[in-house]
Amino acid sequence: MDPVTTAATSLGTTDFSILTLFMRADLVVKFVMISLVLASIFSWALIIDKIKIFKKIFKETDIAEDQFWSSKSAGEFYKKTSSSSDNPLVVVFRAGMECVQDHKSKGQIVERTKRVMDVAIDKQIEKYEKNLTFLATVGSVAPFVGLFGTVWGIMNSFQSIAISRNTSLAIVAPGIAEALFATALGLLAAIPAVVAYNKFSSDSRRYTQKLENFTQSFLTII
């Protein structure tokens, strides 16, 4: 049997399952793989959580806006709201309304109320944008971490070739497969994180603009 046929036969009997690739990998490559898997799991948990959060606040804010404009006065709407509400628009509105009620003099009331509501908006932004930087970090760093694992694995493969003095495909292929698996995991973690980060950043900008528009409307009323 010629060397090419022998190598092909050996490759056919080699196990290239995910578990086998992980178990055969070097300790450093294993650490890279585990880190990327954990980053991917946490990213998906964060993505699901953010989807629920933005869906909730957009829906509740639309309802609150309808109630505000259908109320006879801002005071009436204020009575309908609760201080324990977690709706960002309600929180911002109550902060502005309480500033108006506490302000005895009419001078500079608009400027002061605007500052108070801007501070309330900033605090709400921090809440619904929390951990978005993690997605950005995973999206930018994960491919390089996977590439590091690949380079390390290929180096080990070449060392094995030098030691065994055998350059057949059956000897080289398993090590290369393990190395490339690290890059695949890096991309698997990075791609959803980048897509989700861009989507949530867009949602955040739209919602922030929504709060700012409401603030301007409220200031116009008072």
pLDDT digits (tens, 9 = 90+) for 155-202: 877 777 777 676 666 666 666 777 788 888 999 999 999 999 999 999
Q: How far apart are CA 91 and CA 99, in angstroms?
A: 12
Q: Where are the beta strands (DSSP E) in 52-113?
A: none
**The predicted structure's pLDDT at residue 10:** 42
The residue ranges of every structural domain in the chain are: 21-221
**The predicted structure's pLDDT at residue 3:** 42
Angle between helices 109-128 and 88-102 (to 10 degrees): 160
pTM score above 0.85: no
**The predicted structure's pLDDT at residue 159:** 75
